Structure 1
Amino acid sequence: MKRHNFLYPLLLLTFFWSCTQDPAPEESTTPVETDIHKLDDSAITLTCVDVTQSGDKKPHNDVYINISGNKVRVGDVLICNTIDSTEYDKYGIPTEAICAVGGEVADDGVVVYAMRQREKYIVVRQGLKRMTENGIEYQHRALVNFSPENLS
């Protein structure tokens, strides 16, 4: 038993050494801007993840908004093309929209876009292609409102 006594301090030292905390990487300690007034439009993006299953008859993409590092699922679209601001009118998207994704498949069309509302909020809206008395139009509804409190 006395032969192994020198191992106990060595084991104890190894145990304490393995439990030390390494400091967080520099990039993770940088504060994220959550004041919507100060946020640049380039810090707000929409991205998609294709979640189409093998038995689906149409494509399916989940849409995520990324606001200064905060990523949240906000809706879904059939086709996920980035919509250029020059095409906003085609989909009934307001010209002040920050970014938009979506597209059309046959007679179906779905778009999702983000815009500022009253300088206080970032609103994500969805437009669905519908046949109306005036022809084909996109009807829009709000999906999510983001305030500074949601981002902090």
Structure 2
Amino acid sequence: MSKLVRVFTSSTFTDTTLERNALMEDVYPALKMYCRETHGLDFQVVDMRWGVRDEATDDHMTTNLCINEIHNCQKLSMGPNFVVFLCQKYGYRPLPSEIFANEFELLKRTLKEQSENIQILDIWYLEDLNSVPSQVILQPISSILINFNNKVCVSFFAF
């Protein structure tokens, strides 16, 4: 039997800063001590606002990383494993990193019928010739925006 309580914390980052900081500073240390001293359990928190690397963002893997961590918490934790804060913002809404080719063509045809410019879709999504069924894959940000991972350029333009 697991001796671990591992909790994934989910919310938008900007409108829960105070709450998350209070949890990290006051609540989680007390819970860790309570779990250890009262029940002999280890208490862990997964908070992705400190754990998503630029490379994951570049490759559009943020959502997959979070889902994998949620699955890890569900698998490893003997008790509660997920906490969500619902606030005023919708949060991160990523583009799909993979789309079936037939759905992608339907999307493009529909947009074209509505007189929308679809050129950007063909820039960002490329067909994966090895996938069965056929898919298009969202390209890494740095493959289109060359300086995306360049910290010197980013910090230079930060206001």
The TM-score range, normalised by the shorter chain, is under 0.3
Larger RCO, structure (CA 8 Å, separation 6 or more):
2
Higher strand proportion: 1
Higher helix proportion: 2
TM norm structure 2: 0.22
TM norm structure 1: 0.22
Q: Which has the larger radius of gyration?
A: 1
